[in-house]
Structure 1
Amino acid sequence: MSELAQVVVRVLVVDDHHLIRAAVRQIVDAEPDLEVVGEAGDGEGAERQAMELLPDVVLMDVNMPRGDGIRTTARLSANPALAEMKVLLLTTFEQDENVLRGVRAGAAGFLGKSASAAEIAASIRAVHEGGSALSTAAQSALVRHVGGRGENAPLPGAVARLTEREREVLELVGRGADNQTVADVLGMSPATARTHVSRMLAKLQVGSRAALVIVAYESGLVVPGAGPVDESSPRGHVRRRT
Protein backbone atom coordinates (compact mmCIF):
# COMPACT_ATOMS: atom_id res chain seq x y z
CA MET A 1 0.00 0.00 0.00
CA SER A 2 1.33 3.44 -0.91
CA GLU A 3 -0.57 5.27 1.81
CA LEU A 4 -0.43 4.68 5.53
CA ALA A 5 -3.65 3.41 7.07
CA GLN A 6 -5.48 6.07 9.06
CA VAL A 7 -5.31 5.67 12.82
CA VAL A 8 -8.81 5.33 14.24
CA VAL A 9 -9.38 6.36 17.87
CA ARG A 10 -11.55 3.79 19.64
CA VAL A 11 -14.07 5.38 22.02
CA LEU A 12 -16.18 3.96 24.86
CA VAL A 13 -19.26 6.11 25.62
CA VAL A 14 -20.53 6.03 29.22
CA ASP A 15 -23.77 7.77 30.25
CA ASP A 16 -26.87 6.62 32.10
CA HIS A 17 -29.19 8.22 29.53
CA HIS A 18 -29.71 6.20 26.36
CA LEU A 19 -30.58 9.25 24.25
CA ILE A 20 -27.38 11.03 25.24
CA ARG A 21 -25.32 7.93 24.42
CA ALA A 22 -27.02 7.77 21.03
CA ALA A 23 -26.33 11.45 20.35
CA VAL A 24 -22.67 11.14 21.33
CA ARG A 25 -22.31 7.99 19.23
CA GLN A 26 -23.67 9.89 16.23
CA ILE A 27 -21.15 12.71 16.79
CA VAL A 28 -18.20 10.34 17.17
CA ASP A 29 -19.05 7.96 14.35
CA ALA A 30 -19.50 10.89 11.96
CA GLU A 31 -15.73 11.47 12.16
CA PRO A 32 -13.58 9.24 9.91
CA ASP A 33 -10.82 8.93 12.50
CA LEU A 34 -13.09 8.19 15.50
CA GLU A 35 -15.16 5.09 16.27
CA VAL A 36 -17.48 4.11 19.12
CA VAL A 37 -16.57 0.56 20.13
CA GLY A 38 -18.92 0.22 23.10
CA GLU A 39 -21.39 1.82 25.49
CA ALA A 40 -22.10 1.59 29.21
CA GLY A 41 -24.83 3.06 31.39
CA ASP A 42 -23.08 3.18 34.77
CA GLY A 43 -19.69 3.04 36.47
CA GLU A 44 -19.65 -0.72 36.91
CA GLY A 45 -20.46 -1.25 33.25
CA ALA A 46 -17.76 1.24 32.28
CA GLU A 47 -15.12 -0.75 34.15
CA ARG A 48 -16.22 -4.04 32.59
CA GLN A 49 -16.32 -2.58 29.08
CA ALA A 50 -12.97 -0.83 29.51
CA MET A 51 -11.26 -4.08 30.49
CA GLU A 52 -12.94 -6.04 27.71
CA LEU A 53 -12.62 -3.54 24.87
CA LEU A 54 -9.45 -1.61 25.84
CA PRO A 55 -10.63 1.63 24.20
CA ASP A 56 -8.29 4.53 23.52
CA VAL A 57 -10.62 7.11 25.09
CA VAL A 58 -13.54 6.81 27.52
CA LEU A 59 -16.10 9.60 27.20
CA MET A 60 -17.55 9.52 30.72
CA ASP A 61 -20.57 11.10 32.38
CA VAL A 62 -20.08 12.28 35.98
CA ASN A 63 -23.39 11.63 37.72
CA MET A 64 -24.39 7.97 37.24
CA PRO A 65 -25.70 5.08 39.32
CA ARG A 66 -23.46 2.22 40.49
CA GLY A 67 -20.24 4.18 40.44
CA ASP A 68 -20.15 7.85 39.50
CA GLY A 69 -17.84 9.01 36.76
CA ILE A 70 -15.17 10.50 39.00
CA ARG A 71 -14.79 7.42 41.21
CA THR A 72 -14.81 5.25 38.10
CA THR A 73 -12.14 7.46 36.52
CA ALA A 74 -9.94 6.99 39.59
CA ARG A 75 -10.29 3.21 39.41
CA LEU A 76 -9.58 3.10 35.69
CA SER A 77 -6.56 5.41 36.06
CA ALA A 78 -5.12 3.19 38.81
CA ASN A 79 -5.35 0.05 36.67
CA PRO A 80 -1.95 -0.71 35.05
CA ALA A 81 -3.67 -2.65 32.28
CA LEU A 82 -5.37 0.59 31.18
CA ALA A 83 -2.34 2.85 31.41
CA GLU A 84 -2.64 4.04 27.80
CA MET A 85 -6.36 4.78 28.02
CA LYS A 86 -7.58 8.36 28.51
CA VAL A 87 -10.75 9.53 30.24
CA LEU A 88 -12.64 12.59 29.06
CA LEU A 89 -15.41 13.66 31.45
CA LEU A 90 -18.53 15.02 29.75
CA THR A 91 -21.19 16.41 32.06
CA THR A 92 -24.01 18.87 32.55
CA PHE A 93 -22.51 19.86 35.89
CA GLU A 94 -19.26 21.81 35.41
CA GLN A 95 -19.14 22.55 39.14
CA ASP A 96 -15.83 23.57 40.64
CA GLU A 97 -15.57 20.59 42.97
CA ASN A 98 -16.35 18.13 40.19
CA VAL A 99 -13.67 19.58 37.92
CA LEU A 100 -10.99 19.49 40.60
CA ARG A 101 -11.90 15.98 41.74
CA GLY A 102 -12.10 14.75 38.16
CA VAL A 103 -8.67 16.02 37.16
CA ARG A 104 -7.11 14.73 40.36
CA ALA A 105 -8.74 11.35 39.73
CA GLY A 106 -6.84 11.14 36.45
CA ALA A 107 -9.20 12.61 33.86
CA ALA A 108 -7.39 14.06 30.86
CA GLY A 109 -10.19 16.49 30.12
CA PHE A 110 -13.50 17.94 31.27
CA LEU A 111 -16.25 19.21 28.96
CA GLY A 112 -19.79 20.41 29.43
CA LYS A 113 -22.58 18.65 27.55
CA SER A 114 -23.27 21.96 25.84
CA ALA A 115 -20.04 21.46 23.87
CA SER A 116 -20.47 21.38 20.11
CA ALA A 117 -19.89 18.27 18.02
CA ALA A 118 -16.66 19.77 16.72
CA GLU A 119 -15.45 20.51 20.28
CA ILE A 120 -16.21 16.96 21.42
CA ALA A 121 -14.40 15.42 18.45
CA ALA A 122 -11.40 17.74 18.84
CA SER A 123 -11.21 16.99 22.58
CA ILE A 124 -11.20 13.23 21.98
CA ARG A 125 -8.31 13.65 19.55
CA ALA A 126 -6.45 15.96 21.94
CA VAL A 127 -6.54 13.61 24.94
CA HIS A 128 -5.70 10.60 22.76
CA GLU A 129 -2.59 12.41 21.57
CA GLY A 130 -1.51 13.10 25.15
CA GLY A 131 -2.94 16.57 25.49
CA SER A 132 -5.67 17.94 27.72
CA ALA A 133 -9.14 19.24 26.97
CA LEU A 134 -10.62 21.61 29.51
CA SER A 135 -13.65 23.74 28.77
CA THR A 136 -13.49 27.43 29.65
CA ALA A 137 -15.69 26.76 32.69
CA ALA A 138 -13.41 23.91 33.80
CA GLN A 139 -10.29 26.04 33.45
CA SER A 140 -11.91 28.79 35.50
CA ALA A 141 -12.86 26.28 38.18
CA LEU A 142 -9.27 25.07 38.48
CA VAL A 143 -7.97 28.63 38.80
CA ARG A 144 -10.48 29.42 41.55
CA HIS A 145 -9.73 26.35 43.61
CA VAL A 146 -5.99 25.83 43.46
CA GLY A 147 -3.83 27.71 45.90
CA GLY A 148 -0.87 29.67 44.65
CA ARG A 149 2.26 30.82 46.49
CA GLY A 150 3.82 34.18 47.11
CA GLU A 151 5.96 35.72 44.41
CA ASN A 152 9.18 35.17 46.37
CA ALA A 153 8.24 31.95 48.16
CA PRO A 154 10.31 28.85 47.36
CA LEU A 155 8.97 26.39 44.83
CA PRO A 156 7.40 23.22 46.25
CA GLY A 157 9.90 20.37 46.54
CA ALA A 158 8.81 18.26 43.56
CA VAL A 159 8.62 21.28 41.24
CA ALA A 160 11.94 22.64 42.54
CA ARG A 161 13.59 19.38 41.47
CA LEU A 162 12.52 19.86 37.88
CA THR A 163 15.12 21.20 35.49
CA GLU A 164 14.85 24.82 34.39
CA ARG A 165 13.66 23.70 30.97
CA GLU A 166 11.03 21.42 32.53
CA ARG A 167 9.73 24.33 34.62
CA GLU A 168 9.47 26.43 31.46
CA VAL A 169 7.47 23.64 29.82
CA LEU A 170 5.29 23.30 32.93
CA GLU A 171 4.46 27.01 32.86
CA LEU A 172 3.45 26.82 29.22
CA VAL A 173 1.34 23.70 29.79
CA GLY A 174 -0.31 25.46 32.73
CA ARG A 175 -1.27 28.28 30.40
CA GLY A 176 -2.89 25.87 27.97
CA ALA A 177 -0.12 25.31 25.42
CA ASP A 178 -0.11 22.07 23.43
CA ASN A 179 3.12 20.31 22.45
CA GLN A 180 3.40 22.17 19.15
CA THR A 181 3.07 25.54 20.90
CA VAL A 182 5.60 24.53 23.57
CA ALA A 183 7.98 23.51 20.79
CA ASP A 184 7.49 26.79 18.89
CA VAL A 185 8.00 28.97 21.97
CA LEU A 186 11.03 27.13 23.34
CA GLY A 187 12.69 26.26 20.04
CA MET A 188 12.47 22.48 20.26
CA SER A 189 10.74 19.72 18.34
CA PRO A 190 7.22 18.58 19.29
CA ALA A 191 8.72 15.17 20.13
CA THR A 192 11.10 16.79 22.61
CA ALA A 193 8.23 18.76 24.14
CA ARG A 194 6.28 15.51 24.49
CA THR A 195 9.27 13.89 26.21
CA HIS A 196 9.52 16.76 28.72
CA VAL A 197 5.82 16.42 29.53
CA SER A 198 6.14 12.64 30.03
CA ARG A 199 9.10 13.10 32.36
CA MET A 200 7.24 15.72 34.39
CA LEU A 201 4.24 13.43 34.78
CA ALA A 202 6.56 10.81 36.25
CA LYS A 203 8.56 13.20 38.43
CA LEU A 204 5.49 14.96 39.80
CA GLN A 205 3.53 11.70 40.11
CA VAL A 206 0.40 13.00 38.42
CA GLY A 207 -1.71 11.11 35.93
CA SER A 208 -2.57 13.56 33.19
CA ARG A 209 -1.61 16.75 31.42
CA ALA A 210 -4.67 18.39 32.95
CA ALA A 211 -3.23 17.64 36.40
CA LEU A 212 -0.08 19.52 35.39
CA VAL A 213 -2.26 22.63 35.07
CA ILE A 214 -3.13 22.29 38.77
CA VAL A 215 0.55 21.87 39.67
CA ALA A 216 1.51 24.92 37.61
CA TYR A 217 -0.97 27.12 39.49
CA GLU A 218 -0.33 25.64 42.93
CA SER A 219 3.42 26.11 42.52
CA GLY A 220 3.01 29.72 41.41
CA LEU A 221 4.61 29.18 38.01
CA VAL A 222 1.31 30.38 36.57
CA VAL A 223 -0.78 33.02 38.29
CA PRO A 224 -4.47 33.78 37.75
CA GLY A 225 -4.91 36.19 34.88
CA ALA A 226 -1.71 35.11 33.11
CA GLY A 227 -3.72 34.41 29.98
CA PRO A 228 -2.86 32.14 27.07
CA VAL A 229 0.60 31.85 25.58
CA ASP A 230 1.49 34.67 23.20
CA GLU A 231 3.43 32.89 20.46
CA SER A 232 4.21 36.19 18.75
CA SER A 233 6.28 37.38 21.69
CA PRO A 234 9.84 36.20 22.42
CA ARG A 235 9.66 32.86 24.24
CA GLY A 236 5.95 33.37 24.83
CA HIS A 237 6.63 35.41 27.97
CA VAL A 238 8.05 32.36 29.73
CA ARG A 239 9.38 33.46 33.11
CA ARG A 240 12.64 32.12 34.49
CA ARG A 241 11.95 30.96 38.05
CA THR A 242 14.33 29.48 40.59
Structure 2
Amino acid sequence: MSIKVIVADDQEIARTGLRMILDAQEGIEVIGEAGDGGRAVELAQRLRPDVCLFDIRMPRVDGIQATRSLAGPGVADPIAVVVITTFDLDEYVYAALQAGARGFLLKDAGPALLSQAVRAAAGGDALIAPSITARLLSAFAGAGRSAPPAQPVEALTGREEQILAAVARGRTNSEIAEEFHISLSTVKSHIASLMTKLGVRNRVEIAMWAYETNRVRT
Protein backbone atom coordinates (compact mmCIF):
# COMPACT_ATOMS: atom_id res chain seq x y z
CA MET A 1 0.00 0.00 0.00
CA SER A 2 1.12 3.53 -0.76
CA ILE A 3 2.34 5.87 1.98
CA LYS A 4 -0.24 8.66 2.11
CA VAL A 5 1.14 12.18 2.61
CA ILE A 6 -0.27 15.65 3.23
CA VAL A 7 1.90 18.61 2.23
CA ALA A 8 1.52 22.03 3.85
CA ASP A 9 3.37 25.13 2.66
CA ASP A 10 2.11 28.69 2.17
CA GLN A 11 3.84 28.96 -1.22
CA GLU A 12 1.91 27.26 -4.00
CA ILE A 13 5.02 26.68 -6.09
CA ALA A 14 6.67 24.91 -3.15
CA ARG A 15 3.63 22.68 -2.60
CA THR A 16 3.51 21.84 -6.29
CA GLY A 17 7.19 20.95 -6.32
CA LEU A 18 6.92 18.75 -3.25
CA ARG A 19 3.85 17.00 -4.65
CA MET A 20 5.57 16.31 -7.97
CA ILE A 21 8.67 14.92 -6.24
CA LEU A 22 6.71 12.68 -3.88
CA ASP A 23 4.15 11.47 -6.41
CA ALA A 24 7.03 10.43 -8.65
CA GLN A 25 8.33 8.08 -5.94
CA GLU A 26 7.11 4.51 -5.97
CA GLY A 27 4.81 3.75 -3.07
CA ILE A 28 4.20 7.39 -2.03
CA GLU A 29 1.01 9.32 -2.74
CA VAL A 30 0.16 12.92 -1.85
CA ILE A 31 -3.50 12.95 -0.83
CA GLY A 32 -3.87 16.57 0.20
CA GLU A 33 -2.33 20.03 0.23
CA ALA A 34 -2.76 23.03 2.50
CA GLY A 35 -1.55 26.62 2.46
CA ASP A 36 -1.57 27.08 6.21
CA GLY A 37 -1.27 24.98 9.35
CA GLY A 38 -4.91 25.26 10.34
CA ARG A 39 -6.12 23.78 7.09
CA ALA A 40 -3.36 21.15 7.29
CA VAL A 41 -4.55 20.00 10.72
CA GLU A 42 -8.15 19.80 9.51
CA LEU A 43 -7.11 17.75 6.47
CA ALA A 44 -4.90 15.45 8.54
CA GLN A 45 -7.58 14.77 11.12
CA ARG A 46 -10.09 13.98 8.39
CA LEU A 47 -7.89 12.03 5.95
CA ARG A 48 -5.50 10.39 8.49
CA PRO A 49 -2.37 10.33 6.29
CA ASP A 50 0.66 8.27 7.20
CA VAL A 51 2.92 11.33 7.15
CA CYS A 52 2.51 15.11 7.17
CA LEU A 53 5.19 17.27 5.57
CA PHE A 54 4.99 20.76 7.08
CA ASP A 55 6.78 23.99 6.38
CA ILE A 56 7.59 25.87 9.58
CA ARG A 57 6.56 29.37 8.56
CA MET A 58 2.91 29.47 7.54
CA PRO A 59 0.08 31.96 8.17
CA ARG A 60 -2.79 31.56 10.66
CA VAL A 61 -1.36 28.41 12.25
CA ASP A 62 2.35 27.80 11.74
CA GLY A 63 4.09 24.46 11.33
CA ILE A 64 5.02 24.26 15.00
CA GLN A 65 1.44 24.67 16.21
CA ALA A 66 0.18 22.26 13.57
CA THR A 67 2.78 19.69 14.57
CA ARG A 68 1.85 20.01 18.24
CA SER A 69 -1.83 19.49 17.39
CA LEU A 70 -1.14 16.27 15.51
CA ALA A 71 1.92 14.78 17.21
CA GLY A 72 2.49 16.63 20.48
CA PRO A 73 2.37 15.40 24.06
CA GLY A 74 -1.05 14.09 24.99
CA VAL A 75 -2.19 13.36 21.42
CA ALA A 76 -3.90 10.00 21.66
CA ASP A 77 -3.34 8.86 18.07
CA PRO A 78 -0.43 10.94 16.72
CA ILE A 79 0.39 11.35 13.05
CA ALA A 80 4.01 11.37 11.92
CA VAL A 81 5.22 14.85 10.99
CA VAL A 82 8.38 15.79 9.09
CA VAL A 83 9.28 19.48 9.19
CA ILE A 84 10.95 21.21 6.28
CA THR A 85 12.59 24.62 6.34
CA THR A 86 14.44 26.95 4.02
CA PHE A 87 17.01 28.00 6.59
CA ASP A 88 19.49 25.63 8.20
CA LEU A 89 19.61 27.85 11.29
CA ASP A 90 15.88 28.47 11.54
CA GLU A 91 15.16 29.49 15.14
CA TYR A 92 11.91 27.51 15.13
CA VAL A 93 13.38 24.09 14.38
CA TYR A 94 14.09 23.18 18.01
CA ALA A 95 10.54 24.17 19.01
CA ALA A 96 9.13 22.07 16.18
CA LEU A 97 11.04 19.01 17.37
CA GLN A 98 9.81 19.52 20.91
CA ALA A 99 6.29 19.83 19.51
CA GLY A 100 6.59 16.26 18.23
CA ALA A 101 8.11 16.45 14.75
CA ARG A 102 9.71 13.17 13.85
CA GLY A 103 12.42 14.74 11.75
CA PHE A 104 13.41 17.70 9.63
CA LEU A 105 14.97 18.51 6.28
CA LEU A 106 16.01 21.52 4.27
CA LYS A 107 13.85 22.27 1.26
CA ASP A 108 16.82 21.73 -1.03
CA ALA A 109 17.39 18.22 0.35
CA GLY A 110 16.57 16.64 -2.99
CA PRO A 111 14.12 13.90 -4.04
CA ALA A 112 16.10 10.98 -2.61
CA LEU A 113 16.46 12.39 0.91
CA LEU A 114 12.88 13.68 0.91
CA SER A 115 11.47 10.28 0.03
CA GLN A 116 13.75 8.61 2.58
CA ALA A 117 12.45 10.95 5.28
CA VAL A 118 8.83 10.18 4.39
CA ARG A 119 9.44 6.43 4.32
CA ALA A 120 11.33 6.56 7.61
CA ALA A 121 8.57 8.52 9.32
CA ALA A 122 5.89 6.18 7.98
CA GLY A 123 7.85 3.22 9.34
CA GLY A 124 8.16 4.67 12.82
CA ASP A 125 11.75 5.72 12.24
CA ALA A 126 13.08 9.24 11.73
CA LEU A 127 15.47 10.93 9.38
CA ILE A 128 17.23 14.09 10.45
CA ALA A 129 19.42 15.37 7.63
CA PRO A 130 22.95 14.41 8.69
CA SER A 131 24.40 17.59 7.15
CA ILE A 132 22.55 19.79 9.63
CA THR A 133 21.84 17.51 12.58
CA ALA A 134 24.87 18.38 14.67
CA ARG A 135 24.83 22.12 14.11
CA LEU A 136 21.10 22.59 14.59
CA LEU A 137 20.71 20.36 17.62
CA SER A 138 23.75 21.77 19.36
CA ALA A 139 22.72 25.34 18.52
CA PHE A 140 19.31 24.90 20.06
CA ALA A 141 20.25 22.50 22.85
CA GLY A 142 18.78 23.83 26.04
CA ALA A 143 17.14 26.76 24.26
CA GLY A 144 13.69 25.85 25.50
CA ARG A 145 14.63 24.57 28.95
CA SER A 146 14.76 26.40 32.25
CA ALA A 147 16.48 23.48 33.97
CA PRO A 148 19.17 20.96 32.97
CA PRO A 149 17.94 17.88 31.09
CA ALA A 150 16.97 14.98 33.33
CA GLN A 151 19.49 12.25 33.91
CA PRO A 152 18.62 8.65 32.93
CA VAL A 153 16.47 6.76 35.41
CA GLU A 154 18.97 3.94 34.95
CA ALA A 155 22.56 4.09 33.70
CA LEU A 156 23.02 3.52 29.96
CA THR A 157 24.92 0.46 28.85
CA GLY A 158 27.96 0.78 26.62
CA ARG A 159 25.95 -0.36 23.61
CA GLU A 160 23.18 2.12 24.41
CA GLU A 161 25.76 4.92 24.50
CA GLN A 162 26.87 3.86 21.01
CA ILE A 163 23.29 3.75 19.73
CA LEU A 164 22.62 7.14 21.36
CA ALA A 165 25.52 8.71 19.47
CA ALA A 166 24.46 7.11 16.20
CA VAL A 167 20.87 8.36 16.54
CA ALA A 168 22.13 11.85 17.40
CA ARG A 169 24.15 11.89 14.19
CA GLY A 170 21.08 11.16 12.12
CA ARG A 171 21.61 7.46 11.43
CA THR A 172 18.57 5.36 10.53
CA ASN A 173 17.84 2.00 12.14
CA SER A 174 19.19 0.19 9.08
CA GLU A 175 22.42 2.17 9.12
CA ILE A 176 22.88 1.52 12.85
CA ALA A 177 22.28 -2.20 12.36
CA GLU A 178 24.89 -2.32 9.60
CA GLU A 179 27.44 -0.26 11.54
CA PHE A 180 27.28 -2.41 14.67
CA HIS A 181 26.51 -5.73 12.93
CA ILE A 182 23.28 -6.28 14.83
CA SER A 183 19.72 -7.00 13.72
CA LEU A 184 17.05 -4.37 13.13
CA SER A 185 15.00 -5.81 15.97
CA THR A 186 17.98 -5.41 18.31
CA VAL A 187 18.38 -1.77 17.24
CA LYS A 188 14.70 -1.13 17.91
CA SER A 189 15.01 -2.79 21.31
CA HIS A 190 17.95 -0.54 22.25
CA ILE A 191 16.09 2.56 21.10
CA ALA A 192 13.01 1.57 23.10
CA SER A 193 15.24 1.12 26.15
CA LEU A 194 16.80 4.55 25.58
CA MET A 195 13.39 6.20 25.38
CA THR A 196 12.37 4.56 28.66
CA LYS A 197 15.59 5.45 30.47
CA LEU A 198 15.68 9.04 29.18
CA GLY A 199 11.96 9.69 29.56
CA VAL A 200 11.55 10.80 25.94
CA ARG A 201 8.94 10.03 23.29
CA ASN A 202 10.92 9.39 20.12
CA ARG A 203 14.35 9.20 18.51
CA VAL A 204 14.39 12.90 17.74
CA GLU A 205 14.16 13.63 21.46
CA ILE A 206 16.91 11.06 22.02
CA ALA A 207 19.11 13.11 19.68
CA MET A 208 18.23 16.37 21.42
CA TRP A 209 19.04 14.83 24.82
CA ALA A 210 22.42 13.67 23.50
CA TYR A 211 23.35 17.19 22.48
CA GLU A 212 21.91 18.84 25.58
CA THR A 213 24.04 16.59 27.78
CA ASN A 214 27.14 17.01 25.60
CA ARG A 215 27.20 13.29 24.78
CA VAL A 216 27.74 14.34 21.17
CA ARG A 217 29.48 17.43 19.92
CA THR A 218 29.72 19.12 16.52
TM-score (norm 2): 0.85
Q: Contact conserved, 1:96 with 1:145, CA < 8 A, in 2?
A: no
Aligned-partner Cα distance in 2 for 1:39–1:145: 30
Aligned-partner Cα distance in 2 for 1:182–1:66: 40
Map 1:55-204 → 2, pairs under 5 A = 55-78=49-72, 79-82=75-78, 85-135=79-129, 136-146=131-141, 156-158=150-152, 160-204=154-198
Change (3 A) 1:185 1:114: closer
Q: Deviations over 1:67-120 (max 9, x none)?
A: 1001211121132122xx211111223334222112111111111222212221
Code of the residue aligned with 2:89 in structure 1: it is Q
Aligned-partner SS, 1:88: strand
Is the radius of gyration larger for structure 1 or structure 2?
A: 1
Q: Contact conserved, 2:134 with 2:169, CA < 8 A, in 1?
A: no
Q: How many correspondences in the alignment?
A: 209
Aligned to 1:231: none
Q: Contact conserved, 1:159 with 1:219, CA < 8 A, in 2?
A: no
Aligned-partner Cα distance in 2 for 1:181–1:95: 26
Alpha-carbon distance, 1:60 to partner = 0.3
What stretches of structure 2 of length at least 5 have no aligned partner? Answer: 143-148
Aligned-CA RMSD value? 2.2
Change (3 A) 1:202 1:128: farther
Aligned-partner SS, 2:6: strand
Alpha-carbon distance, 1:56 to partner = 0.9
Aligned to 1:3: none
Aligned-partner SS, 1:124: helix
Aligned-partner Cα distance in 1 for 2:169–2:183: 19
Aligned to 2:27: 33
Q: Contact conserved, 1:111 with 1:134, CA < 8 A, in 2?
A: yes
Code of the residue aligned with 1:51 in structure 2: it is Q
Aligned-partner Cα distance in 2 for 1:175–1:111: 14
Code of the residue aligned with 1:144 in structure 2: it is A
Higher deviation after alignment, 28-37 or 194-203: 194-203
Q: Contact conserved, 1:94 with 1:138, CA < 8 A, in 2?
A: no
Aligned-partner Cα distance in 2 for 1:137–1:169: 19
Q: Contact conserved, 1:59 with 1:89, CA < 8 A, in 2?
A: yes
Identity of aligned residues (%): 36
Q: Contact conserved, 2:41 with 2:70, CA < 8 A, in 1?
A: yes
Alpha-carbon distance, 1:169 to partner = 1.7
Aligned-partner SS, 2:77: helix
Aligned-partner Cα distance in 1 for 2:198–2:27: 32
Aligned-partner SS, 2:92: helix
Alpha-carbon distance, 1:164 to partner = 4.2
Aligned to 1:227: none
Aligned-partner SS, 2:91: helix
Aligned-partner Cα distance in 2 for 1:121–1:75: 24
Alpha-carbon distance, 1:138 to partner = 4.7
Code of the residue aligned with 2:123 in structure 1: it is E
TM-score (norm 1): 0.77
Alpha-carbon distance, 1:163 to partner = 4.2
Q: Contact conserved, 1:96 with 1:142, CA < 8 A, in 2?
A: no
